[in-house]
Amino acid sequence: MATNGKTTVKGDPFIEVKGLCKSFGSLQVLCGIDETIRRGDKVVVIGPSGSGKSTFLRCLNLLEKSTSGEIWFDGEEITGPKCKVDHLRQRMGMVFQHFNLFPHKTILENITLAPIIKKVMTKAEAKEKAMSLLTRIGLADKAKIYPNMLSGGQKQRVAIVRALAMNPEVMLFDEPTSALDPEMVGEVLSLMKDLAEDGMTMVVVTHEMGFAREVANRVLFMDSGKILEQNPPDVFFSQPKHPRLKDFLGKIL
């Protein structure tokens, strides 16, 4: 992966968050987040609902505007007024809890829409890329049908592939399996695992502790707008230190 003529090395600081705060009116959701995500990182963010995990993730690609603090992406400040938001988002894929596939477009069109409009590829290239991605997730036969005819798990896999079609350098996942029937969670997680094995930089907000344990190289615990603890998964789950984390793990494990 090389962008802006720079060669990139795994382990380089990639997204740097400094003192990030976010308020909705009088409600403070993020209170001073400092965090560095390196190239090749697989970071899983866990925490109780309302702890600010999703807001943190959405601040990273500027779907939410931070109230104060800085975010640096690949050496450039993206929280300043000069940031080219659309160009930035092209480099960061995002997957949503409710899939957000475009219901009026076929599966193929869902995937090729952005690459064609943003002129990342020609029509033919975009189609070829989309078909190879669909083949990879075993849904090539669904290319011509509409999202409504897919199951939840299939929809989410298509949504992941749609983000991948733009060749992003980092993927953000916002509770990708929370809206799925239990028997469909596995297929989505295994696609995400494949992605992680390919070396994709990933930030995942999830409640799937198995996934965190297996795939993450770092797990963050967030509560009331702060990162209270972070560690590699084996230490994180076996020796939690912060009482809030102990309490949280005690409830869910």
Partner 1 sequence: MQVLLNWYHGLVKAIDSTFIVDGRYQIFLEGLGNTLIITLGALLLGVAVGVFVAISKVYYYQTGPFYFWSSLGSFLRTGQLRYLHQAILKLLDGLLSCYLTVFRGTPVVVQLMIWAFVVFSTTHELLVAIIGFGINSGAYVSEIVRAGIMAVDIGQTEAGRSLGLSAARTMQCIVLPQALKNVLPALGNEGIALIKETSIVGYIAVIDLTKAAALVRARTFDAFVPLLFVAAVYLFMVMFLSFLLKKLEKRLQASDRK
Interaction site with partner 1 (CB under 8 A): 61, 63, 81, 86-90, 92-94, 96, 98, 100-105, 113-114, 117-118, 146-149, 159, 162-163, 166
Closer Cβ to partner 1, 82 or 251, answer by number? 82
Closer Cβ to partner 1, 137 or 163, answer by number? 163
Closer Cβ to partner 1, 69 or 147, answer by number? 147
**Minimal distance in Å, beta carbon 148 to partner 1?**
6
Closer Cβ to partner 1, 121 or 245, answer by number? 121
**Minimal distance in Å, beta carbon 229 to partner 1?**
29
Closer Cβ to partner 1, 100 or 230, answer by number? 100
**Minimal distance in Å, beta carbon 146 to partner 1?**
4
Let me know if 131 is exposed, middle or buried by CB neighbors in 10 A (0-12, 13-18, 19+).
middle
| Residue 30: both structure tokens together | 């993020």
**Minimal distance in Å, beta carbon 137 to partner 1?**
18
**Minimal distance in Å, beta carbon 237 to partner 1?**
31
Three-state DSSP string of the chain: CEECCEECCCCCEEEEEEEEEEEECCEEEEEEEEEEEECCCEEEEECCCCCCHHHHHHHHCCCCCCCEEEEEECCEECCCCCCCHHHHHHCEEEECCCCCCCCCCCHHHHHHHHHHHCCCCCHHHHHHHHHHHHHHCCCHHHCCCCHHHCCHHHHHHHHHHHHHCCCCCEEEEECCCCCCCHHHHHHHHHHHHHHHHCCCEEEEECCCHHHHHHHCCEEEEEECCEEEEEECHHHHHHCCCCHHHHHHHHHHC
**Minimal distance in Å, beta carbon 152 to partner 1?**
13
Closer Cβ to partner 1, 87 or 251, answer by number? 87
